[in-house]
Structure 1
Amino acid sequence: MKKLGFDKWVVVLTVTTAALLQTIDSSIVNVTLNQMMGNLGASLGDISWVVTGYAAASAVMITMSGWLTAKLGRRNYFAASIILFTIASIFCGTSTNVWELVFFRVVQGIGGGGLLTTAQSILIQTFPKEDLGIANAIFGMGVIIGPSIGPTLGGYITDNLSWNWVFYINIPFGILATVMTYAYIKEPAEKIAAGSMDWLALILLIMGIGGLQIVLEKGHEEDWLSSGFIVGMSIAAGVGLIGFIWRQLTVSIPILDLRLLKERRFAVGTLFNFILGFGLFASVFIIPVFCQTILGFTASQTGLLLMPGSIMTGLMMPIVGGLLSKNYISPIWYAAIGFLLFFGFCYDLSGISLVAGPDNFFWPLIIRGIGMGMIFIPLTTITLASLKSISIPQGSALTGMIRQLGGTFGTAIMTTYISTRTMFHASRLGDNVSIYNPFSADRIKQYTNLFLSKGDALATATSKAYGLMQGSVMKQALVMTYADTFLVIGGFFLACVPLLLLFIGKKIEKPAHIDMAME
């Protein structure tokens, strides 16, 4: 293998920095929402748009990245995305009310959406095939590690500074990435015709993604189809998504080439990317929520729990990239092992209890880190291997969008599942809280005596005892709910293992990564 020149290492550093900006920001706010609500006077329903707005805007821009790259030029579009992302970060940090913050988070999502797919295209078209495996492994570290270290960084900032600095930290890295982009990233020799923008398709896409995201986020709160608002959003989502698919399959130059899904491996790989995003983002979301609301961890303690797994993922990326370049075994086997390890992580945490401490999370998260490291590069290899070089930007845009939607929809679905499942377990456990149940009656008596010893009247002490008992029931219901949630996420990954057989076909040639598409 030839040694990578200095300029090419700088390209790797530039695109990885940009990828980290986008992926970290997709999760860093999760542990700062409580402080934002307090400082901005917002409800949980209001503040949820800080996450939803960013994710929806990012997903839409991912779909447009192929067209915008052709229209503006790869380097110009990449730099413009970084600049817009950085400027929006400044205004997010200076926001004085929640809706101002939501607006600039949407703008930030517009800038961040094009970073990942454009960055990957830059690597593919910059590096020779013999060097691309290790370059993509380094880039993959940014994509996978970002959502994991986001809560860690956000927790530290929340406990030591303020929520505003969650956005301000993007500024120096954004400036550095912009300067490096104009200095070292070159335009490809092969140009792609941009054509005209399909504004109808864009409107349909926004309707579909926005409507579906609102339904998933607010459906439970609004009692689903009993709400006219949710019915309207469901109709808008259906019309938008179906109309967008029809439009992309009938126009000559689509903004997102769905015809690529005719290639079997690419279609199957796109589905797996959805599941990958689902598991990656949803698991990173529910662990901080569980640790802070149930176990009483601080934001910093919660964030630090994810660090060992992130480090392990980072270590696995170049190792797996190197093994794939040797072509010892098919990438399918690496992915299968990764999916099994992720299931093991979920299964282990499904037995978590109220007395759990940091040690109980260490090895499950290490297993998760190894599993994610073994999934990402092999999955990308198989998915994009059969595409021609000129189709790589569109293929990257489609898989990136699907992975992002898997994360946003997965988080929304799991949030709704937690709400409904908690009420289910609370109802079942509450049925056993009765004077006719000797165990609960004895516990209520103990609580009543405790409050009586503090000087409360009998009626007051009894009322407080039942309230404390109800709190204990709800807490136990939440623990059972999170155990179920981990099993559901793990079940998705376990189901993927036999589905990997759908990839079997023509032998995947080395150098076992997406550089195969350049042959």
Structure 2
Amino acid sequence: MNPIQRQVLILTVILAAIMELIDISIVNVALSHMSGNLGATLEDTSWVITSYAIANVIIIPITSFLSAKLGRRNYYIGSILLFTFCSFMCGQASGIWMLVFFRFMQGIGGGALLSVSQVVVFEQFPKEKMGTASALFGIGVFIGPTIGPTLGGFITENYDWPWIFYINIPIGIVVACLCYVLLREPASKPLVHKVDWTGIALLAIGVGALQTVLERGEIDDWFEARYIVWLSVIAAFSLIYFVFWELKIDNPVVNLRVLKSKTLSIAAALTFITGLGMFTSIYLTPVVAQRLLNFSPTQTGLLLFPGAILALFALRISGLLLQKGTSPVLIIGGGFLLFIYFNWRMSGMTLNTSAAEITFTLIFRAIGMALLTVPLTALAVSSLEPKDIPQGAALNNMMRQLGGSFGISIVNTYLAHRLAAHRNELASHITADNVISMERINTYIRYFQQKGFGLADAHLRAMKVMENIVNKQSALLSYRDAFLLVGILFALALPLLVLAARQSNKKKVDLAAISDH
């Protein structure tokens, strides 16, 4: 393969990974449109997100096995075609459950577009240039979730929701054709033994049940719903037995033995926290901008744009620091501190916070995430043998997705509790004994009387205005609390960096630099 073909292949598989990651969050801003168009409740429509997440987390850990069993080239191209076809069928869906089914199948196809893409990129570079590979793949990991809500909002606002799926079709066709021409099987093909059906079944049942609990628990009041209780028991039993089974047999579908690498284990834990921060921040920020600050989807997207541009430079800087011998742990620590600072600033926002101030704050998030992406991706596989890199990459990617699922679940539950607490606290001040609140109510009553309403109607409308103010302030305070919670979780994870530093020094991990590619 000549250098031009090699570069085209790298760009192609990164584009495939970006497409897969965009689809995780692109539908978030279109749920209400889907709900109205398909005649479904918003609760049922949320399964469009849940089904994709479940499929992703099930398939990602076994991509290494499927690549070996089916042939990596066949499996990868087949996954692209499945993803593309299901994107078309999602746009054609005439009912909510038809859409949910094809979103699940789209997620099955999308699993390979992340893990296999990463392995293909890594194979194009020698071991000493792993930092370059990590930086290039990190661009896709960072850009995908960041522009998903922005792109989804723009398409929904200017066209119609099916186009958030149709946009994948030309990209998928181009990627499939280029991979058909350029992608080859790895030089050393792993031996394929009999299929570990027990492991596949335990993983699918356990992860599917766990993901459903995480996605639906807050909506259905957690363990007050019997099916959540049963799914929690099933998830715990299946996953515990899955770990026991995979460590027991000789040829597991997911080789958990690679986690004997302490470097991979620590990197996976940090990746879990990073996924939690990445997905919760990109989930919370558009909601705050649109629901509380009344920004349009397009305006919300513009808030994220400057940070995304600067993050590309931060990825380059991260690679240059590695080239100069800077410890990856120091770079990761810098990313953590920047992200903690972002959450601290967001926890102090008000309803009068300007778009410029939010944009400035989001820059810290973007740069922090960019600094985390390169060293973490490289650190995860730095101590693995070439034959174990696909499995290590798959497990690390799964941890990022699980971190996002856990994070959004934790945040939603926390928001619900804090919203109720803040609302009760604020409402308790609206009494006849509170001079300030009574003056505010009387001001509204006089305003409505001047508009021609009688005293009774004016009083009723004034109380509704006060209720809206209380609800909006309660929501603001709860979102501020949520940002602060995520920042605290990142701060609590900082001790992991000490373990990573010790392991890095022990192994003398050499994560080389970004070269001019």
The alignment's TM-score, normalised by the length of structure 1, stands at 0.95
What is aligned with 1:164? 162
Match of 2:172 among 168, 171, 174: 174
Residues in 2 aligned to 1:240 and 1:421: alpha-carbon distance in whole angstroms: 33
Matched, 1:190 2:192: no
Matched, 1:377 2:374: yes
What is aligned with 2:16? 18
Residues in 2 aligned to 1:105 and 1:269: alpha-carbon distance in whole angstroms: 30
Match of 1:367 among 364, 369, 372: 364
Q: Work out the percentage of aligned pairs sharing the same amino acid.
A: 44
Residues in 2 aligned to 1:234 and 1:510: alpha-carbon distance in whole angstroms: 42
Q: Which amino acid aligns with 1:144?
A: F
State how 1:330-341 maps to structure 2 within 5 Å.
Answer: 330-341=327-338
State how 1:348-367 maps to structure 2 within 5 Å.
Answer: 348-367=345-364
Q: How many residues align?
A: 512
Q: Is the 8 A contact 2:26 2:151 kept in 1?
A: yes
Moved over 6 A (4+): none
Residues in 2 aligned to 1:247 and 1:136: alpha-carbon distance in whole angstroms: 32
Residues in 2 aligned to 1:513 and 1:507: alpha-carbon distance in whole angstroms: 18
Residues in 1 aligned to 2:348 and 2:465: alpha-carbon distance in whole angstroms: 25
Q: Is the 8 A contact 2:130 2:378 kept in 1?
A: no
What is aligned with 2:508? 508
Q: CA deviation at 1:92?
A: 0.7
Q: Is the 8 A contact 2:422 2:478 kept in 1?
A: yes
Q: CA deviation at 1:196?
A: 2.4
Residues in 1 aligned to 2:152 and 2:16: alpha-carbon distance in whole angstroms: 18
What is aligned with 1:142? 140
State how 1:1-400 maps to structure 2 within 5 Å.
Answer: 5-129=3-127, 131-324=129-322, 326-400=323-397
Match of 1:470 among 456, 467, 472: 467
Residues in 1 aligned to 2:346 and 2:42: alpha-carbon distance in whole angstroms: 27
Match of 1:408 among 397, 401, 405: 405
Residues in 1 aligned to 2:485 and 2:214: alpha-carbon distance in whole angstroms: 17
> Deviation digits for residues 156-211 of structure 1, max 9, x if unmatched?
11111111110111111101111111111111111102222222222222222222
Residues in 1 aligned to 2:214 and 2:4: alpha-carbon distance in whole angstroms: 47
Distance 1:222 1:128, change over 3 A: closer
> Deviation digits for residues 449-504 of structure 1, max 9, x if unmatched?
22222222322222222221111111001111111111111112222323201111
**3-state SS of paired residue (1:32):** helix
Residues in 1 aligned to 2:249 and 2:513: alpha-carbon distance in whole angstroms: 31
Matched, 1:496 2:493: yes
Residues in 1 aligned to 2:246 and 2:105: alpha-carbon distance in whole angstroms: 25
Q: CA deviation at 1:72?
A: 1.2
Residues in 2 aligned to 1:27 and 1:343: alpha-carbon distance in whole angstroms: 23
Q: Is the 8 A contact 2:61 2:394 kept in 1?
A: yes
Gaps of 5+ in 2: none
Q: Is the 8 A contact 2:129 2:512 kept in 1?
A: no
Gaps of 5+ in 1: none
Q: Is the 8 A contact 2:193 2:251 kept in 1?
A: yes
Q: Which amino acid aligns with 2:194?
A: S
What is aligned with 2:447? 450
Distance 1:20 1:221, change over 3 A: closer
Q: Which amino acid aligns with 2:56?
A: S
Residues in 2 aligned to 1:28 and 1:315: alpha-carbon distance in whole angstroms: 24
Q: Which amino acid aligns with 1:245?
A: V
Q: CA deviation at 1:416?
A: 2.0
> Deviation digits for residues 84-130 of structure 1, max 9, x if unmatched?
11001000111112111111110110000111110111122232335
Q: CA deviation at 1:39?
A: 1.3
Q: Which amino acid aligns with 1:159?
A: E
Q: Is the 8 A contact 1:217 1:416 kept in 2?
A: no
Q: CA deviation at 1:4?
A: 8.2
**3-state SS of paired residue (2:46):** helix
Q: CA deviation at 1:64?
A: 1.1
Q: Is the 8 A contact 1:421 1:481 kept in 2?
A: yes
Q: CA deviation at 1:442?
A: 1.1
Q: CA deviation at 1:42?
A: 2.0
Q: Which moved more, 1:289-298 or 1:214-223?
A: 214-223
Q: Which moved more, 1:505-514 or 1:131-140?
A: 505-514
Residues in 2 aligned to 1:16 and 1:214: alpha-carbon distance in whole angstroms: 29
Residues in 1 aligned to 2:241 and 2:110: alpha-carbon distance in whole angstroms: 26
The alignment's TM-score, normalised by the length of structure 2, stands at 0.95
Distance 1:418 1:4, change over 3 A: farther
Residues in 1 aligned to 2:193 and 2:475: alpha-carbon distance in whole angstroms: 53
What is aligned with 2:481? 484
Distance 1:60 1:100, change over 3 A: same
**3-state SS of paired residue (1:114):** helix
Residues in 1 aligned to 2:182 and 2:222: alpha-carbon distance in whole angstroms: 51
Residues in 1 aligned to 2:69 and 2:210: alpha-carbon distance in whole angstroms: 29
